[in-house]
Amino acid sequence: MQIVLLALLNDGAILSIAYDKVHYRNQPEAWNMRVVLGMATVLGIMGPLTAFGLFYLGDKGFHLDHAQLQTLMYLKLSVAGHLTIFVTRTRGPFWSIRPARVLLLAVIGTQTLATLIAGFGIFMTPLGWRYVAFVWGYAVFWFLVTDRVKLLAYRILDPSGALSKSGEQRGQRSKADLAAMAASVAPYHTPVDSGGGEPVYHDSIACPYGKEIIRGRHYLDGTGGRRRCEWCEAHAEVAPFHTETDVENPVYHDLVACPYGQEITRDGHAMAGTGGRRRCEWCEAHADVKDSHDTSQKGKTT
């Protein structure tokens, strides 16, 4: 029965992962199997070690009977399994990206239900609230330890992409990742202008006209000497905004297409000015394309 309950409650939380907030790449993901297998090994070892540790405490330390040990391990596997979601969903500390509300509510709901089942002994032997509290404390403690182990493992397995200890580099992505993002917004244009005017080029990934051109497969590389789209022109110069809620090292954003800046705006955390902060890596990478084109256009006019 415990296995059935674990499967049902786990499915409830796992389904909500599809709606989680994550930092994405604009290029197809290229899996680094050394990192993937290495992290899977590290996390795969931590889980069984903590489980056997709790079993030993329950058997030799608390002298629980067989039925109570089953309930003890059921609650531990349920709580620790769901906490692992928050460890694995980010490369940085578990708090570096706020989880989606639906994921948070799903985990809180399923673990509240699992705790009540173990405490009151529904479909199993009641564990007792003192041991229920101990299991929660044990699971949270090892959750925090595992998160630190994860950061150390990333620094060893993927030094270029891992978060650095220094304040300037903390939270930055690898150069390869930034290059891939910048390449994804190379200017494109079309000989077919929907407005009937002269052909234009687009260099903002948020431009609705540019998106339509991409969907219709009419885009070409480069600008072709064309003028810039009015939408891209209007949205290129935006007042920088920043937030105090950025983890550990606040940044500012000055491109309207930046997904992190858009999230800050939606949440109502935007403020005017830069506040002396460094520029967001996404905005920095995508600005290179814009700046290079502006420089070339100025050269032509002079």
Q: What's the pLDDT score for residue 300?
A: 45
**Residue from 1, 26, 34, 12 nearest 112 by CA:** 12
pTM above 0.75, yes or no: no
Q: What is the pLDDT of residue 294?
A: 46
Q: Each residue of 141-158: pLDDT tens digit?
A: 999 999 999 989 888 887
Return the pLDDT at 201: 80
User: Confidence band (pLDDT; 50, 70, 90) for 116?
Assistant: very high
Task: Spell out the domain ranges in the chain.
Answer: 2-157, 175-301
In contact, 36 and 126? CB cutoff 8 Å: no
Assign domain 2-157 to a CATH class.
mainly alpha
Which of 37-41, 62-66, 196-200 has the weakest average pLDDT?
196-200
Residue 97 has a pLDDT of 78
pLDDT at residue 218, as a whole number: 74
